[in-house]
Structure 1
């Protein structure tokens, strides 16, 4: 039996459409200026993620090509952030918004951190872009560290786990266990409890079921992840109208892995846009 998890009400109608269009237009302008200044890559990364979530807010099934373009742009810009931050001089060539672009070296950037790494990796998984998954997985973990006090240690264990899994490195099980233990509220002291429970831990739990090939347990875990996502984003009025809650990014990415591995996914939800999950748009244009 298929379980349906309805998405909470977000801003709808002409106003939401106008917002998504405005964000998309601004993003295109920002992308076109990337070759002029290293200072723009941070802003463009944030803009790309916001435009992606705004598109998902008004097109919850990702049935329109504009939503796929926003997804790909977000992946490409986030990947470009890490590519530009990896070099201190010269330029890097990146495909963004259907064009190869030459972006100035930026050197180490505070935003090229573990948090944005996770967003970039999830987007690469959703876009089934294995080359970008490899590029992100080859970034040394130490390069992703932020000043002490910004993140709990669990996030570095989590990045290490995902990099090890994709590159088929050793000690995956031990690293995943370390991630789970470090994400325990008794250990993680910086991250708010509701944020950890509602949005950050569920992808870890889903990945646990995925790597164990737990086909019977995956769908119930995905259902629980979406319920927790909904609970977090409806806790108060401000969150309920925030377009960042329009999509469950981490759970969607792990669900894409499970879908591609023929796991039974007896769940439907606008938090998991159907055409992103089912890779409908793959091959529409080079990514």
Structure 2
């Protein structure tokens, strides 16, 4: 039986439409500037994520091509962030916003870290960009370390788990177990408890059901992840109106993996835009 999970109410109407259009226009300008200098690519990636979430506010099923294009732009920028920060002194050819672009590499950037890696990887999964998934998974873990005190240690085990899964390296069970144990509220000390329990831990828990091909457990775990997502984003009025809560990025990506792997996804929700989950727009234009 399919579970229906309603999204919490977000600002809609003409103001939301104008905001989404304004973000898209602003993003196009930022993308154009990258060919002069890629120094601000991290902020451009953040703008692209905002643009995607704004589109999902007004198009919760991702039924419009503009929403798919926003997802693709965010995915391309996430991958490009790591492509230009791997080394310096050269150039890379990347496709962003329907155009091949030559960007100068800028060397290490503090924002090219494990947190943004997860966002970039989720977007590559959602867009079914296997080559970019592979490129992201080939980035050495030590290159993703942030200054001490920014992240709990579990995040590096989590990234290592995902890289190990995708590249079919040995030790998946041990690495996933470490990520689960170290993300426990009694162990993790840096992330706020509501953030950890509401947004950070659920994808790890969901992944363990996915890799075990747990048909009976995956959808209940997905439903629980969305409930925790909603609880986090409705804790107060400031969060309730924040467009970041419009989609559950990590759970959506894991639901995409399950969908593609023919593992039943028996949850329907605007937190999981239908046409992103079901890859309805795949092939609409080069990505």
**TM over 0.5, shorter chain:** yes
Q: Distance in 1 between matches of 2:204 and 2:211?
A: 11
The alignment partner of 1:89 has SS state of strand
Deviations 1:84-123 (A, max 9, x none): 0012112111110111101111100011000000000000
Q: Distance in 1 between matches of 2:50 and 2:192?
A: 22
1:151 counterpart residue number: 151
The alignment partner of 1:112 has SS state of coil
2:228 counterpart residue number: 228
The alignment partner of 1:90 has SS state of strand
Deviations 1:186-228 (A, max 9, x none): 1100001110110111100110000001011101001100000
2:174 counterpart residue number: 174
2:89 counterpart residue number: 89
Asked if residue 76 in structure 1 is aligned to residue 76 in structure 2, the reply is yes
Q: Which runs of 5+ in 1 are unaligned?
A: none
Q: Which runs of 5+ in 2 are unaligned?
A: none
The alignment partner of 2:92 has SS state of strand
Q: Distance in 1 between matches of 2:42 and 2:119?
A: 14
1:38 counterpart residue number: 38
1:252 counterpart residue number: 252
1:239 counterpart residue number: 239
Equivalences for 1:8-157 in 2 at 5 Å?
8-157=8-157
- TM-score norm. by structure 1 comes to 0.99
Asked if residue 191 in structure 1 is aligned to residue 191 in structure 2, the reply is yes
Tell me how many residue pairs correspond in the alignment: 287
- CA shift at 1:75, angstroms? 0.4
- CA shift at 1:38, angstroms? 2.5
Q: Distance in 1 between matches of 2:184 and 2:245?
A: 23
2:264 counterpart residue number: 264
Q: Distance in 2 between matches of 1:42 and 1:248?
A: 21
- CA shift at 1:40, angstroms? 2.3
The alignment partner of 1:77 has SS state of helix
- CA shift at 1:267, angstroms? 1.3
Q: Distance in 2 between matches of 1:175 and 1:265?
A: 25
- CA shift at 1:42, angstroms? 1.9
Deviations 1:42-97 (A, max 9, x none): 22111111111111111100000000000000000111010000121121111101
Bigger CA drift: 12-21 or 262-271?
A: 262-271
- TM-score norm. by structure 2 comes to 0.99
The alignment partner of 1:101 has SS state of strand
The CA RMSD measured in Å over matched residues stands at 0.6
